[in-house]
């Protein structure tokens, strides 16, 4: 087979898989794409993160559109917090450019462990979060919310993820936003946050067209296929299975960083 078509098929399949899993479990696609690109396909970690940012935009747009149509996303709150996430995202991307790949690998492993842990916790407490009133609520602690959003933006710019695992608990637990609205608003913010760092990766040559385009196409198709089933709560076993995979990826990334095994 032609090497280019092999590459396109591999990356497209990875994207498709990440898109479907992301839609079914709520894991951001980036948490799957970056480990697979670096650990399995040997892509340098900065380029993997650049690709992940493209995929984050491709998936979040479709999901955010349906949240906005159903008036679940709080657009005014989202725009306000985006003031902080975008500034954080620009800063994070500029810092990521200076960090050695092994440091980024360890940071990513920490994030995977944290996000995996959050997923396990959420699936164990799933019943409590679904009954809130999504129309009447007051926003509390906006300054804390802005600060936390800035941190979420830095993490997004550094590691190429959407920042949902940080923003959703922040809005739900600290700011008093109903869980469904917090999820929808976080999703609404992801695209703009990713956009603010994606161009900095682009300028440094870390958005490679032949890596990012096929993966993003796969993610878009996968997310579109997975979204119709998304309305049901994800099966607890599926969430557990993928958290275990995330913990495994985290260990692999630490091992690779310790042995200097990341591709240049």
Partner 1 sequence: MARLTQDKSDYAIALVLRYGSLISTLVMTLGLGLMLLRGPAVSLPADHRVRLSLLFPMLLRMDPAAVIEFGVLLLLLTPLFRILVAVVSFSLERDLKYVLISLGVLATVLLSISFAIEG
| Start-to-end Cα distance in the chain | 26
In this structure, the number of other CB atoms found within 10 A of the CB of residue 237 comes to 9
Q: Shortest Cβ distance from residue 172 to partner 1 (Å)?
A: 22
Site string for partner 1, 177-216 (x = CB under 8 A): --------------xx-xxxxxxx-xxxx-x-xx-xxx-x
Q: Which is nearer to partner 1, 25 or 60 (CB)?
A: 60
Scanning 22-30, 76-84, 137-145, 237-245 for contacts with partner 1 by CB under 8 A, the matching segment is: 76-84
6 scored as a contact of partner 1 (CB under 8 A): no
Distances (CA, A) of 138 to 27, 79, 147, 172, 173: 28, 17, 19, 12, 13
Number of Cβ atoms within 10 Å of the Cβ of 33: 32
Eight-state DSSP code of residue 188: H
Q: Which of 49, 64, 111, 171 binds partner 1 (CB under 8 A)?
A: 64
Residues 122 to 181 in contact with partner 1, rule: CB under 8 A: none
The yes or no reply on residue 75 touching partner 1 (CB under 8 A) is yes
Closest to 246 in 3D by CA, of 72, 75, 63, 18? 18
71 vs 236, beta carbon nearer partner 1: 71
Taking Cα atoms as reference points, which of 94, 214, 107 lies closest to residue 159? 107
Q: Are 242 and 27 in contact (CB under 8 A)?
A: yes
- Per-residue contact string for residues 79-118; x = within reach of partner 1 by CB under 8 A: xx-xx--xx-xx--x-------------------------
Using CB under 8 A as the binding criterion, the count of chain residues that bind partner 1 stands at: 49
**Coil/strand/helix, residue 2:** coil
Task: Please tell me whether residue 66 binds partner 1 under the rule CB under 8 A.
Answer: yes
Q: Identify the CA nearest to 117 among candidates 176, 156, 169, 187.
A: 169
Contact set with partner 1 (CB under 8 A)? 2, 4-5, 8, 54, 57-58, 61-62, 64-66, 68-69, 71, 75-76, 79-80, 82-83, 86-87, 89-90, 93, 191-192, 194-200, 202-205, 207, 209-210, 212-214, 216-217, 220-221
């Amino acid at each position: 087979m032609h090497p280019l078509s092999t590459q396109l098929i591999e990356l497209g399949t990875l994207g498709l898989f990440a898109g479907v899993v992301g839609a079914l479990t709520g894991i951001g696609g980036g948490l799957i794409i970056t480990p697979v690109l670096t650990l399995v396909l040997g892509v340098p970690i900065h380029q993997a993160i650049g690709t992940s940012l493209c995929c984050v935009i491709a998936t979040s747009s479709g999901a955010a559109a349906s949240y906005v149509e159903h008036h679940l996303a709080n657009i005014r709150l989202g725009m306000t917090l985006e003031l902080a996430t975008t500034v954080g995202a620009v800063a994070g991307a500029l810092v990521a450019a200076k960090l050695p790949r092994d440091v980024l690998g360890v940071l990513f492993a920490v994030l995977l462990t944290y996000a995996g842990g959050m997923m396990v916790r959420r699936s164990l407490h799933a019943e409590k979060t679904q009954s809130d009133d999504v129309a009447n609520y007051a926003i509390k602690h906006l300054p804390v919310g802005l600060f936390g959003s800035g941190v979420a933006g830095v993490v997004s710019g550094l590691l190429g993820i959407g920042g949902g695992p940080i923003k959703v608990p922040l809005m739900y637990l600290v700011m008093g936003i109903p869980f469904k609205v917090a999820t929808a608003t976080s999703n609404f913010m992801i695209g703009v946050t990713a956009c603010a760092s994606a161009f900095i990766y682009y300028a440094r040559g870390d958005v490679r067209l032949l890596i990012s385009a096929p993966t993003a196409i796969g993610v878009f198709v996968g997310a579109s296929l997975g979204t119709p089933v998304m309305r049901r709560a994800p099966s607890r076993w599926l969430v557990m299975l993928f958290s275990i995979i995330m913990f495994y990826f985290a260990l692999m990334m630490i091992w690779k960083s310790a042995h200097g095994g990341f591709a240049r």
